[in-house]
Structure 1
């Protein structure tokens, strides 16, 4: 069964193991997606920087440049393309490091192809809500460009960071519970409190740290909220 036109994605697979890359390519292509492939980190980074893919499926153990370095360089360049990391490293520390470098989700090998596709759809960019661009206390986020703006400064975000900020903006100044934020960002799979804390830390570094007053506040044991500077 192929995808409806609105669900077809341009997927870049950066994976050095030929059999895994071929299996992913064949499965996604049969499902109606457009697939491209790079077998090392340097060529993968150059391809991802072109900006014409919807999702990057990224292995960590790559020749010439590992996946964590590739992910970090993409984010440092302001590229917010959603990244799904593939790896055999399954410890919590490995996952948190991947999220800290800018990954949107993390899938441990071996995996089922149907789960891979579900995760790809979960991290894909989504259209802006019909209500327009949410705003609070001079902070806005536009999901069409995955860009926040605060005091006239444009701030590129990852898909995951943007999803969290959008919910906080829509509910501001109300508290958003941990469970809702995790469900918004990762759905039924992949997220937990530790991963959420890592993403909120990275989000604060982008939208709060460069400014005099923080907007993102922790409500201990419950969740997070946006609150205007005193």
Structure 2
């Protein structure tokens, strides 16, 4: 799996060292020197990990982290900071970071953390939004323009996966793995649950549709 990383760091010498080292290891790394530029790159690109300095010009790291989570972006975030007090770490986790690395750090440890974080999505995003469709993860509920959508545990998992990959086709195999893991029923079961999910979206007159990608799977996109 290719790994794309964003480093938001105003120390140019440190940034150059990190970018060069990661790229030697086969990891592509974009760089932003301030919080505003970092947010712009996050909105424009798909990253597997965000490396975020705490003390940034224009917009500090905590604010960047908060805005990323408010946008329902669950990209794992590793906070880089010289502050190592418990209070600072709590503030970071409250803002939505996934892990901390205190400066100065060993570059090899940074690489290990990046690879580990790239294999999962963050648990910090509390909601997912696609248009007026909102999925609240902890409550396991869904609404469209304020109207409640009735979901079974299986259709919730399907909708979550489709929303995370909105506008991107998701294979049948990937959807079945998300719902049933290795103990999978026949493929007709997936078809039945997708049909039920479509009906629930129709009931709230959602301006979204789950379209069939012939021979591959399904995609959630605007009508």
Under a length normalisation based on structure 1, what TM-score does the superposition of the two structures give? 0.54
Superposed displacement of residue 48, structure 1: 1.0
Q: Is the 8 A contact 2:36 2:58 kept in 1?
A: yes
User: What is the rounded CA distance, in whole Å, between the counterparts of 1:44 and 1:17 in structure 2?
Assistant: 14
- Could you tell me how far apart the structure 2 residues matched to 1:93 and 1:126 are? 26
Q: Report the 3-state secondary structure (helix = DSSP H, G, I; strand = E; otherwise coil) of the residue aligned with 2:44.
A: coil
Asked if structure 2 preserves the Cα contact closer than 8 Å seen for 1:49 and 1:79, the reply is: no
Q: Which residue of 2 aligns with 1:150?
A: 140
Residues 82 and 125 in structure 1, CA contact (< 8 A), matched pair in contact too: no
**In the alignment, is residue 13 of structure 1 matched against residue 7 of structure 2?**
yes
State the match for 2:75 in structure 1: 81
TM-score using structure 2 length: 0.55
Q: Which residue of 2 aligns with 1:223?
A: none
> Cα RMSD between the aligned structures?
2.7
Q: State the match for 1:105 in structure 2.
A: 99
* Matched residue SS, 1:49: helix
Distance in 2, matches of 1:109 and 1:9, equals 23
Q: How far apart are 1:126 and its partner, in Å?
A: 3.5
Q: Which residue of 1 aligns with 2:108?
A: 114
Residues 34-49 of structure 1 aligned to structure 2 (within 5 Å): 34-49=28-43
| Pairing partner for 1:52 from 23, 35, 46 | 46
- Any runs of at least 4 consecutive aligned residues in structure 1 with deviations exceeding 6 A, and if so which? 154-157
Gaps of 5+ in 1: 1-5, 128-146, 158-169, 171-230
Q: Distance in 2 between matches of 1:54 and 1:14?
A: 14
1:88-137 deviations in whole A, cap 9, x for unaligned? 0010110111011000100000000110011112222449xxxxxxxxxx
Structure 2 regions of 5+ residues with no counterpart? 122-135, 144-158, 165-180, 182-223
Q: Are residues 1:25 and 2:48 paired? A: no
Q: CA deviation at 1:16?
A: 0.3
Q: Is the 8 A contact 1:54 1:82 kept in 2?
A: yes
| Equivalent position SS for 1:37 | strand
**Count of matched residue pairs:** 135
